[in-house]
Structure 1
Amino acid sequence: MSAHARPAGTARNLLLLAAAIVVVEAVTCIVLAVLGVTDLDGDSIGTGIGVSAILAIYGGFQAWAAWRVTLGELWARSPLVVTQIIQLIIAFNLADIPGWIPVLVGAAALVALACLLAPPVTRALGGDQPV
């Protein structure tokens, strides 16, 4: 548990925006996991189940961390930052796909990163206190 109070003001708004973006990404992972399980064939049952399980766990953890960071828990920000960096890598790898999907993935990751790393959020979470 965190000893910090729930963030308020600008920090709260930034955290809620970041959490909303992360939850959309998490739900996408979970939907992809379900679709992966429903589209198994004989040659890829093991791989399909494994990838689907990883996507479901990853999506569930993202959603949980997003909820915890809005409650003021500093630890939850780190995995969310890492997941947004992963989203940027995914967006870069999707650059060959014409259309809006790579731009949307990258823009969402950048907005979430900006919110998570904003100075009001760092102050609210107590991350700028000397060690």
Structure 2
Amino acid sequence: MSAHAKPTGTARNLLLVAAVVVLAEAGTCVVLAVLGLLDLGGDSIGSGIGVSLILAVYGGFQAWAAWRVTEGDQWARSPLVVTQIIQLIIAFNLADVPTWITVLLGSAAVVTLACLLSPPVTRALGDNPPV
């Protein structure tokens, strides 16, 4: 864990916005995992359980990283940035879904990335003490 204090001021507000968006995404993953388990049948039992497990673990890790970044842990920003970039790529490559889903996924990723990569957050999390 980080020895840094909780970010304050603008950095804290931006991290809270990012955390709320990521928590909504994580909650969606967990709900999809539960729905996947409830819809198991026939040939999809193995893959359904596997996908549901992956979604649940992914959602749980996202929620944990969102919480840790608001506490000032520098490491937690990296996985959040990576997953938002992946989400942005997915949003641009969705073809057979309604447009509003693509816009929602892309917008959430852009807002989260803007918050996580903003100068106040970088200053708050980027103070690396000498080893």
TM-score, structure 1 as length reference? 0.94
Q: 1:116 to 1:128 in 2, by over 3 A?
A: farther
1:18 aligns to what? 18
Q: How many residues align?
A: 131
CA distance in 1, matches of 2:96, 2:49: 28
1:87 aligns to what? 87
2:99 aligns to what? 99
In structure 1, the residue corresponding to 2:2 is in which secondary structure? Answer: coil
- In percent, how many aligned pairs have the same letter? 78
1:41 aligns to what? 41
Q: Tell me how large the CA RMSD over aligned residues is.
A: 1.6
In structure 2, the residue corresponding to 1:44 is in which secondary structure? Answer: helix
Query: Which residue identity does 2:94 align to in structure 1?
Result: L
* Correspondence list, 1:1-131, <5 A: 1-127=1-127
- Tell me, yes or no, if the aligned pair for 1:74 and 1:127 is still in contact at 8 Å: no
Query: Which residue identity does 2:51 align to in structure 1?
Result: V
| Deviation at residue 100 of structure 1 after TM alignment | 1.1
Structure 2 unaligned blocks of 5 or more? none
Query: Which residue identity does 2:55 align to in structure 1?
Result: L
| Deviation at residue 98 of structure 1 after TM alignment | 3.3
- Tell me, yes or no, if the aligned pair for 1:18 and 1:112 is still in contact at 8 Å: yes
Structure 1 unaligned blocks of 5 or more? none
TM-score, structure 2 as length reference? 0.94
